[in-house]
Amino acid sequence: MPKVKSQKFGYSHNSTKNVSTSTAATSKPAKAMAPLFRKDLGQHILKNPLIAQNIVEKVAAGLKCTDVVLEVGPGTGNLTTRILERAKKVVAVELDPRLAAELAKRVQGKPEQRRLDIMVGDVIKTDLPYFDVCISNTPYQISSPLIFKLLEHRPLFRCAILMFQREFALRLIAKPGDNLYCRLSVNTQLYAKVDHIMKIGKNNFKPIPQVDSSVVRIEPRNPPPPIDFKEWDGLLRIVFVRKNKTLSANFKTSSVLDIIENNYKTFCSANEMMIDANFDIKKKVINVLKSVGFAESRAAKMDVDDFL
């Protein structure tokens, strides 16, 4: 059988207690054996086999028989079985133990079962093993955390094929000047090249979600930029609060100036630097912005290189 690992849930995939069944509740055994999908967990299973095959083929051109593939949210395995045909191994991380049991049963007795590891738990809280490629039909609740967990993973993976709600996907690929261009766009594009692959209508899922989806391809930049991400993200938080205002306008607000002044004084103290008695943080900030030529620039139209 596939290896099913879980510290959070104690169960065996051989136990029928983990499959949602109730022969007394219905006279149709097929429906009784089907798992109940939970919308609160973002469970919208891709039911169109042609699209599932197309997604795998988008990555298959570069997929090697020696590759380890991480699949997030495999559900009942519509993508998993296709990936197993091409990859050396699949590590499937599934939050719902019922669906993990269904997936284990699906490959039971087949050659692929030895190449499938199922990890039951929250992918965001899980220490991920080594992988070359990631494929995910991503629950909307973890879209942003998953991206940055993957980009922080070491060693770097080669690429990821990720399905998201359409508007979220469009934010990932948005360019300066686009309406959806935001802090998420810049943070993602700092660490990776992001391309839109395909749009998928909501009717291709079960249960049907409220919005369409899109698939994107993410390739991490190697090596990653040598910056302190907390400082970088702190800058973006300030300038994207009002992305269509000038940078000088965003930095002149009293709340931002108070934070910068406190941080600057802490920095000076730690580095044994003297601060002039007539020190004016507002004047210093504006002078810095003018010195780099961005005082009148707007975050909505600045690219990654500008922010760097």
CA distance 308 to 289: 13
The pTM for the full model equals 0.80
State pLDDT tens for residues 150-206.
999 999 999 999 999 999 999 999 999 999 999 999 999 999 999 999 999 999 888
Predicted local distance difference test score (pLDDT) of residue 45: 73
Locate the DSSP E strands across the chain: 3-5, 45-46, 68-72, 89-94, 116-120, 133-137, 159-165, 192-200, 205-206, 213-220
Predicted local distance difference test score (pLDDT) of residue 57: 77
Predicted local distance difference test score (pLDDT) of residue 261: 93
**CA dihedral for 65, 133, 205, 215, sign (positive or negative):** negative
50 Cβ contact list (under 8 Å, min separation 6): none
Mean pLDDT of 23-48: 56
Is the pLDDT at 210 greater than 90? The verdict is: no
Predicted local distance difference test score (pLDDT) of residue 89: 96
Q: What is the distance between the terminal CA atoms of the chain, rounded to a whole angstrom?
A: 50
Predicted local distance difference test score (pLDDT) of residue 121: 94
Predicted local distance difference test score (pLDDT) of residue 61: 56
CA distance 97 to 38: 12
State pLDDT tens for residues 118-136.
999 999 999 999 999 999 9
Predicted local distance difference test score (pLDDT) of residue 2: 58
Is the pLDDT at 142 greater than 80? The verdict is: yes
Q: Which of 14-28, 143-157, 176-190, 279-293 has the lowest mean pLDDT?
A: 14-28
Q: How high is the mean pLDDT of the chain?
A: 86
Predicted local distance difference test score (pLDDT) of residue 60: 55
Mean pLDDT of 68-94: 92
Predicted local distance difference test score (pLDDT) of residue 25: 40
Predicted local distance difference test score (pLDDT) of residue 207: 80
Return the H-helix or E-strand segment holding 257: helix 254-270
Predicted local distance difference test score (pLDDT) of residue 245: 96
CA distance 173 to 151: 16
